């Protein structure tokens, strides 16, 4: 699966409920944070907050899932809200890939501007894979691409996302998942477990700009959003076929 993600394929998760009325649901997971073979992946901030009785807001939520621990995350970036829950509520959680994508540009100087032009003309899905010097990989949908035919160049803006900063500390969630599962062992069937809703938590912006072959990451400084140079191991741009 990791190889497929690195070749631009879309990631989605299929979930089935363990308790109550049996149902199945699936979500496209657009933003992926990957280190070696472990990832967190989230869908866009479009989920209704209705049903979250422990936290009142009229702002949209998002969920993130990972492939290495029994923990899911619900987040609300506008309030800095984060909550981590046991995935024991699901009887099934399967990650799958879909779609066919083609490499159209990379940090080594490769460019397939004809395919890229066709993707822009037909509003095809485009995404970027960015690996920083520490081996941390972000896979992001491209929100805006500007294709300059005159000098055969292009600029890329990714989706504007953010995640709880703690998500980047991968290791602690294995322990938290075990702790919540141990708690549930002695509880009646149907009970779920999770942390409290935590507000004003640190969030990290996940938004990149590719400009003339250079990668910048957007960060907040003194209330303003600034572009910070990212020293990359590599980047690759993929287009949906």
pLDDT in tens, 104-114: 999 999 999 99
User: Residue written as tokens 């990957």?
Assistant: 34
d(CA 88, CA 151): 54
Q: How many residues does the chain have?
A: 241
Tokens 């002695």 appear where?
186
- Quick check: 91 and 189 in contact, CB under 8 A? no
Q: What is the mean pLDDT of the chain?
A: 93
pLDDT of 31: 98
Considering only CA atoms, which of 36, 61, 35, 9 is closest in space to residue 168?
Answer: 35
Residue 60 to residue 57: CA distance in whole angstroms:
8
Is the predicted pLDDT of residue 55 greater than 80, yes or no?
no
pLDDT at 189 exceeding the cut of 80: no
Tell me: pLDDT of 77 over 80.
yes
Tokens 């708690």: give the residue: 183
Q: Rounded to two decimals, what is the model's pTM?
A: 0.93
Model confidence band, residue 76 (pLDDT cutoffs 50, 70, 90): very high
CA angle 46, 49, 50 (to 5 degrees): 125
- CB atoms under 10 Å from CB of 206, counted, come to 20
Short-list 51, 81, 46, 88, CA closest to 177? 88
């Amino acid at each position: 699966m990791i190889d497929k993600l690195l070749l631009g394929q879309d990631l989605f998760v299929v979930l089935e409920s363990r308790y109550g009325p049996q149902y199945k649901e699936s979500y496209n997971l657009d933003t992926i944070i990957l280190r070696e073979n472990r990832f967190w992946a989230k869908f866009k901030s479009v989920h209704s907050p209705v049903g979250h009785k422990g936290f009142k807001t009229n702002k949209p939520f998002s969920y993130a899932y990972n492939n290495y621990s029994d923990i899911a995350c619900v987040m609300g970036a506008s309030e800095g809200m984060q909550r981590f829950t046991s995935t024991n509520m699901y009887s099934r959680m399967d990650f799958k890939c879909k779609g066919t994508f083609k490499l159209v540009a990379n940090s080594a100087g490769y460019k397939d501007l004809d395919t890229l032009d066709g993707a822009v003309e037909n509003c095809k899905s485009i995404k970027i894979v960015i690996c920083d010097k520490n081996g941390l990989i972000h896979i992001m949908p491209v929100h805006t691409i500007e294709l300059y035919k005159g000098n055969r160049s292009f600029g890329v803006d990714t989706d504007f996302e953010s995640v709880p900063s703690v998500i980047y500390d991968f290791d602690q969630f294995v322990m938290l998942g075990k702790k919540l599962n141990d708690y549930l062992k002695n509880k009646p069937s149907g009970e779920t477990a999770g942390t409290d809703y935590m507000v004003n938590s640190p969030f990290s912006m996940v938004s990149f700009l590719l400009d003339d072959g250079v990668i910048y990451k957007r960060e907040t400084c003194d209330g303003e959003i600034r572009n910070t140079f990212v020293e990359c191991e590599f980047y690759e741009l993929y287009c949906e076929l």
